[in-house]
Every structure is written in structure tokens, then in C-alpha cells.
Chains A and B, each alone.
Chain A
């Protein structure tokens, strides 16, 4: 049985070369892996383990490559991953299945790289009095890598319930590999240039404390530490080996991957809001914001944009305290702007709103509630901190005022635009990064126009705020805050009224547009 699984694995590997496109891809992967392997061996011969910075680089490189190897099987897309559940339908004895899968893990590029890494590690320590210990550490390390990667494949295959999820996992694995290779290359370059060896050693000591670098740091330590690290590695191998058959049989015997969601008692959000149409729409919208991957991705991505801007500006040499004025307004701007295509996310389920005797106002107002609930508290909480850290005196009113103003103005503009100019969005149930079949040029225009409209409406307040900052004029800053708040409130009310009117008038056309996507 075991040899069947191994033969299957070989056949799968061979199949990568069938067809021109996939053969080219497989070849590229092979070249990349071969390059990494060769580089490992060559570098290992250069390493002088008596130098602290070389030892540090060795730990970092080995740990980074190890991380890459562990996630490597996931980067191929799980399509033909040998994972336990695939054998659930066959009468394979569990023990043999576990053994076969484990051995199959060694065959293939990740397995080969794991072995290469172990060998390279041993070469690095050869000709020293710790060569024997290094061999032990290398062997244990390679085994741990192969096993952990098998566990990872088995567990991830359980999680990969949809093709969108598989794509996400694949992308994450590839990103991890790229980062790992980058980190390894960086360590090598740093040690060659001889700059900042202090930093390198510091990083290495941190990595050595994690499971990732635990073994690779073993030969570099003093006696007790070596013993402790090698013992830890051995225990890990033993635990991984012992638990594997159990994990395999668990997965095989409980093959259903989608467990039906636990029955929900009561009506959730609907029980908490008043019994009106707008409140029900708000509750439904809130439920989608919290449960739907398309909305959740945005909630996760929103804080990233300001953070990236801050990092970029800081690298460009902007004074850091001042950069703390960025996050609140940027976050508010994008949160308000995100709703500009909200209707498209309903897809044809929007018919319920069209077929009901619903005021346009109710629809618009309901959709605005979730971003308001998410944004307002965050802005109110973050503004004092941002104002404090920016070290600009009296800036607080301007931060909170422009923040709220941008959010509310954004929601007002979105209320109109999502009724007036929706464009195709990812379908319900799709992954957050799935694109609709056709987007068209309109999407780009709508996106930029709505963003510009928000900024244009807020420009008086923003101008006042900037002027106040430059002149260090507290009165101007306070005025900017009030202006922002007032603009936001006005624009929100106006947006909901106009948006509601447009929605009521155009509801059938909207529905037709959404159905065509």
C-alpha cells in the first residue's frame, strides 16, 4: 500500500510536465528550487562559523528557507496535494496511509530542499568540533520540516472549502516563500557588506528563540543549550510522528468539510433593532459587513492603507510625529467611500427592496448604519491619541472634525452614487479578491469621481485644517473641526435624501443592471 502511494506521488510529479504551459511552469519551479539548493550548498562552504555574524546569518538563512519549505506544498494550489481526505473513500489501512503519506512528503521539491538544507547546514559546520552535533541537528531539522509541512497540507486542505479559499491560501503561501527568500538574501547581503552586524546578531537571537530557528541555532550555543535544543528537536519529531496516524485517521473518518452552521436561535441583529424597514435593512447590512468575506476584507484592509502611507512618508524623511495626523482622516475617507457601490454587493437579491413598498430613504439610511457604527467610535477613540502623538498643540478638534466630516460626507456621496452609478462587483459568496466577469471602464470613473467628490465637498474644512497647521493657529484648527463636522452632517442628510429619491426612481433599472453582471 505504501508503495502505491509513493508511486502515485511520482505520477503526480510527472504529470506536472505534461502539456507545454504546465511543463514550462514546472521547469521554472525546478530551476528556482535548484537555484536555491545550489545557493545553499555554495553559501554553506563559505560560512565561517567561528564568526558571530556568519553564525547569525546561518541561523537566519536556515530559518527563512525552512519556513519557505514548510509552506511550499501549499503554493502549488492543493489541486493534487496528497492529503488524507482524498483517501477517505478507499479501504486503506490507516497506519499504512499515514506512513505512505509521510514518506510521499519526502519525494518532491520541498522534500529535496529540506534534505539539501540539512546537508548545507552540516557542510557549514563541517571541520569544526561540533560537526557531529550539526549533522544531528540537520537530520532532525529536515525530518521536522517534512512532517510539519505534511501536517500543514492536511489541515489546510480541511480549510480550503472554496476555490476562492484555495486561491487565497496559494497566494499566501507564495507570498511567504517570496518573503522568506528575500529575508535569506538580505541576511547574506548584510553579512557580505559587513554593515550592521549588530542588528543581524540581534535578529538571529530572536529567531533562535522561535520554533523556526530553534534547531538551526543548536550548534552555535554552549553545551547545555546544545543539548536542550537537540532534545527539543527530538521530542518534536517524536510528537509529530506519534500524532500523525491519529490526525490522518481523524481526518479520514470525519470527511465532511462543511459543517452546517450551528442553528442560530432568535434573529440576531434583527432582535436588537427597532421593527422598521430602515432598521431591518441596517441589521441585514451589518450582518453582511460582519459575515461576508467581501466586506470583511475591506474592514481588514482599511487600517493598512494609512499605515502604508505613514511608512512610505516616514521612509521619505517626513517628521514622524506629524505623520500621526494621517491615519484618522485617511481611514475615514476610505470607509465612507467604500459604500459607493454598496448596492452591487446585493446582486439580484435587491429585488426584495424593489418589490416592497419601500421608501428610498429607508434603503439608503439602512445601508449607511454599519459604516457609521464602525467608523464613528473608531474616529472618536483614535483622534485624541493621534492628536497627542502628533505633538501638535490644539490639533484635536481638527482631527476629529475632519475625520467625522470625511466619513459622513463619504457616506452621503456613496448614498447617491450607489443608486446612480453602480458597477459590477464580486458576487455574493465570492472571495474578496474575486473580480466580476466584466467591470468596464465605468468602474474606474465612478471610483475616482466619488473619491474626488468627497474631497471636493470637504475641501473647505481640509484647507482650514492645513492652514491652521501651517500657522499653528488653534482657532483655525478648531474652526476646521467644526466645518468638517457640519459639512459631514449636511452632506450625509443631503446624500440620503437625494440617494433615496434616485433609488426610488431608478430601482427597476438598478435591478436590471445588477442582474446583468
Chain B
């Protein structure tokens, strides 16, 4: 019913990133809240579905067409994904398909085509839901989050970005402008598996993204991201430590299961159970190791 809240929100459109940084900074300084609106797939749905709100509402600033946020660029070493690029745009972009194929693949598991057409990586990062498919896939590339503010640009490793359930290290006046990925060479192995509530329009019960580099049979690089198994996207450090520098063919499965169990803290909720999630998390990591072993 609180769709009735929507008409009461104040609204502005940002003309440039600089303008946006100033606006957000000034509002922060005076203790006023701001919501940045890109695709609206989280914000519009949540306002519509949540209880009615009284009192002052935050200013909603439309950033969906800020040119500084939409670009996708490849400079030969780094893939820079604009925070405002939609999943549909990511999926269709040749540089993403070539250098970050896991991201291109993951997009087709997000919601359905209408959600892919609006949702953005920046939005996923800012909302910081541990169930976000996009963040799990992104995490496997061990990316850097680029933040802008009146103080200039700041880069944060994604490992340091999400600090808790729906919490990030972004300052209130900072804007996520891009994500930088230094991908392994084209052709490097990657893996994506989402176990959701259904085949589309689904929230992950567990999802695993992985990007690897191998030297012969030795794993030299491995990035992991797992959704819906803890308060933040799980990066599975113990699992990774167990696998890196070894061969996927020599992995002790009991140790692997134990590492996965130690890396995650899945819970019961309306979508699944903690016990099932733990089981599936182990199975998906085993599946990953099998696929690396069979290369």
C-alpha cells in the first residue's frame, strides 16, 4: 500500500558526476539523506512493498543517465565497468564477454530480461545484499570499487568494501562510479552456478562464481564469490587457500568440505534452510574443483 509514499519523495536529476558529488556532500553535511536511483529494481520495489513511512523522506536523485557512470572500457589491462551500466549492457558488451565472461554469463541468471534491462552492478554493490548474483560473480575477479566524492576518487578492494549485512565502507557522500577488474588472460577457466528458487525471477539460495588461472595443473590464481551463505558475499578464503598452489586433482575432499564449512555461516530463512545451503555450498565447490580437474 505504501506505493502511496512514492509521490511524496523529493526528486532531482544529476547533470554531471561533479554536480552529484557536491549535492550529496552538501546534504550529508547538513544531515540530510539522499538515495541514488539507477534502475530502481531494489528501491522502487522496496518502497512499494514496505510499510508506509512518516516524517521526512530522502531526496531521490536520478543517476540512470549520468554518462560518467555508464561506460564500459577495456584499456588492455583493466576492464572498467561503469557502475550504472545495466546487466543487459554488460551482457552485450564485447569486452565483457571476452575478458570477464563470468559476468556476461551471470547476467542471464538475474531476475528476467526486464530486470536485466534496469539493474546495475553499482546498485547491487550499494544495496550490499549477500544474495546478489552480480556481487558473487564480480567477487571472483577480485575487483576494485571506484568511489567518487568532493574529495576526489578513492579505490577500495572489494574484499574491504562489504563490511556486514547490507553495510559497506562507502562514506555517505561517496558515489560508486565504477568497478575495475584486472582479469586473467582470455580463455582462463571460470565457473558460475546459481541454485535459486526457480529458473528465472529467482533469488539465490546459493550461487558460486569462480575465476582461475592454471599453470599446468597447478592453480595459480583463484577468485571466489558465493551468494546467500552469510551476512556478506562470501569470498571463501580458507577454501581458496586450500586450493591455490595445488592441483585440483589432488584435493582432499574432506578437507575441502571442512574449509567451505568454515568459510560460510548459512542460515534458515523463507527461501531455504541453513543445512541445505551448507550441503549445496560444499557440492558447488566440489563441482568447481571437478571442472578444474577435468580441464
The yes or no verdict on A and B being binding partners is no
Binding site for B on A (CB under 8 A): none
Binding site for A on B (CB under 8 A): none
